[in-house]
Every structure is written in structure tokens, then in C-alpha cells.
Structure 1
């Protein structure tokens, strides 16, 4: 990823503190990219448009495009954080 810095980051969540809103269908705002960073364990990212599923790990973050509907599901014990960018966080 490029040297672009997030404008905001969530607290660190684990499998117990992950908000219900993130486990249900939601999307980012127009012009906002989300990068889901798994610090420990595994997390499933389900994107609904286009439909895709991927398992996120510390070596495999998830990218959510602006206004892309999605939700996440913990796969056992995990810790994760989301960084938000106002431009594409990759080149």
C-alpha cells in the first residue's frame, strides 16, 4: 500500500466486542475506502456487490470500496481494526 494515511481508525475489536452493525449489511460513505486489518486470528469479509467472500488475516487485509455493501464474520478468536481513507489507499 502507498504512504497514504487514514483519516480515522476504529478502536480494536475482538470477537466479543465487534459491533453488531459491522456483522450486518452496511457500507462505507461515498468517497470513503475502508481497510480491514486483522491483528490476530481470522475474519471473513463478505462483499455483496459484487458478491465475494474472503478470509482476512494479518497478512491479508480487506479493502472495501466506497459505498460497497458488506459485512464481516469472526472465524474464532480474533482482533481487528478498520482504517478509513478519503482516497484509494493503494496505487
Structure 2
């Protein structure tokens, strides 16, 4: 299955608070996906985070400056690889921005 390219007109509309290895929500640690039309980008500020694309079967070790793109409705999960601080930025294309949650 090929993944769509990151749309050039996608813009941030919301971000999570910063999480650490002790505050990461349990929902992010198990299989989950963004809503239709919602793209996401992980931002690791300190430490390391494991990102698993459950559809493609790939795993990446993320550090500061490495921002995997999370495509709409694609199953994925994360895991702390020791002490970490990160947040998630949600993006949408004009006209596709989901209602705030």
C-alpha cells in the first residue's frame, strides 16, 4: 500500500501538551489512528521515541529533528525509549479541518 505524500497546503490546527515517558497517554502506546482528513507530525524535543507504523510494519527510533508524518486513518503507536519529551501537531488541508475536540 503506498502512502499519500504530505500535502503542501496542510497547516497545523492543534497540538497536544508536551508528554514525557511517564505522562504519555496510554492511547498513544497502543494502536490508534488520526481521523479522516487529519495529518499529524511527531516532535521529539528531548530523548528518544519509538514510532511504529502498524500498516507498513516499519519502526523508527526518533530523536530531536526527526518528524515522521502520520497520514490520516493510518494505524500507528509510539513507545518511550528511555527519558523523552515530545508533542504531536495535528494538521489539515483547507476545508478539511475537523471540529475541535
Q: Same fold per TM (> 0.5)?
A: yes
Q: Which has the larger radius of gyration?
A: 2
Which region of structure 1 is more displaced relative to structure 2, 50-59 or 67-76? 50-59
State the shift of 1:66 in Å.
0.5
Aligned-residue CA RMSD in angstroms? Answer: 1.7
State the shift of 1:5 in Å.
3.8
Moved over 4 A (4+): 1-4
5+ unaligned residues in a row in structure 2: which ranges? 1-5, 94-101
Q: Is 2:56 aligned against 1:50?
A: yes
Aligned 1:1-91 pairs, distance under 5 A: 5-87=11-93
5+ unaligned residues in a row in structure 1: which ranges? none
**TM-score, length basis structure 2:** 0.80
Q: Report the number of matched residues.
A: 87
Judge conservation of contact 2:10–2:92 (CA < 8 Å) in 1.
Answer: no
Distance 1:12 1:39 in 2: 9
Distance 1:3 1:33 in 2: 11
**TM-score, length basis structure 1:** 0.88
